[in-house]
Chain A
Amino acid sequence: MNQDIAVSASRIVKTYGAGTSAVRALDDVSIDIEKGEFFTLLGPSGCGKTTLLRCIAGFETPTSGTILLSGRDITFTPPNERPINTVFQSYALFPHLTVAQNVGFGLQMLGRPKSEVAEAAARVLALVRLDGFANRLPQQLSGGQQQRVALARALAPQPEVLLLDEPLSALDLKLRKEMQSELKRLQTETGITFIFVTHDQEEALTMSNRIGVMSAGKLLQVGTPRDIYDRPVNRFVADFIGETNFVRATLAGDQATLGSGDTIVVDAKGASGSVTLAVRPEQIRIAPRDRPGAIHATVAESTYFGTDMHYQLALSDGTFLIARLQANAANVYGNGDEVGVLIDGTALQLLAE
Chain B
Amino acid sequence: MGKNRAFDVTTLPGFTAIAILAFVLLYAPIVTLVVYSFNGGNSVNLWGGFSLKWYKIAWENEAVQGAAVRSLIIAVWASVIATSVATLAALGTTRRKRFRGQTFIYVMINQPLMVPEIVTAVALLIFFSSVKLATGYSGLGYLILAHSAFCVPFAYLPIRARLEGMDTSMEIAAADLYATPWQTFRHITLPLLMPGVLAGAMLAFVISLDDVIITEFVKSAGQDTLPTYMLGQLRRALTPEVNAISTALLVLTVLILTAFFIITKKRG
Mark A residues whose CB is within 8 Å of B.
Answer: 57-59, 78-81, 84-86, 88, 90, 92-96, 105-106, 109-110, 153-154, 157
Contact = CB atoms under 8 A, between A and B. Distances in A.
B169 A85 contact: no
Contacts of B169: 88, 90, 92
A165 to B, nearest CB: 11
Contacts of A96: 191-192
Contacts of B175: 58-59, 78-80
Given A96-B191, A109-B183, A153 B172 contact: no
B181 to A, nearest CB: 8
A85 B172 contact: no
B249 interface: no
B192 A105 contact: no
B60 interface: no
Contacts of A110: 178
A89 to B, nearest CB: 10
List of 3 A-B pairs having minimum Cβ-Cβ separation, nearest first:
A106-B177, A92-B173, A109-B178
B180 A80 contact: yes
Interface of B: 169-170, 172-180, 183, 187-188, 191-192
B173 A57 contact: no
A90 B170 CA distance: 10
Given A59-B172, A92-B173, A109 B179 contact: yes
Q: Is the interface of B mostly helix, strand, loop or mixed?
A: helix
A88 B173 contact: yes
Contacts of A86: 173, 176
Contact of A85 (B176, B179, B188, B191): B176
Given A94-B188, A96-B191, A96-B192, A106 B178 contact: yes
Contact of B170 (A81, A92, A154): A92
Nearest to A78: B175
A90 B173 CA distance: 11
B177 A85 contact: yes
Given A79-B176, A81-B178, A109-B183, 6 more contacts: A59-B176, A79-B175, A85-B177, A86-B173, A88-B173, A94-B174
Contacts of A59: 172, 175-176
A326 B177 CA distance: 49
Contacts of B183: 109
Nearest to A156: B177
B262 to A, nearest CB: 18
A303 to B, nearest CB: 42
A59 B174 CA distance: 11
A93 B136 CA distance: 55
Nearest to A163: B176
A170 B210 CA distance: 51
Contacts of B187: 105, 109
A78 B174 CA distance: 12
B177 A157 contact: yes
A155 to B, nearest CB: 11
B176 A57 contact: yes
Contacts of B191: 96
Contacts of B170: 92, 94
Q: Name the residue among B175, B177, B179 with the largest chain A CB count within 10 angstroms.
A: B177
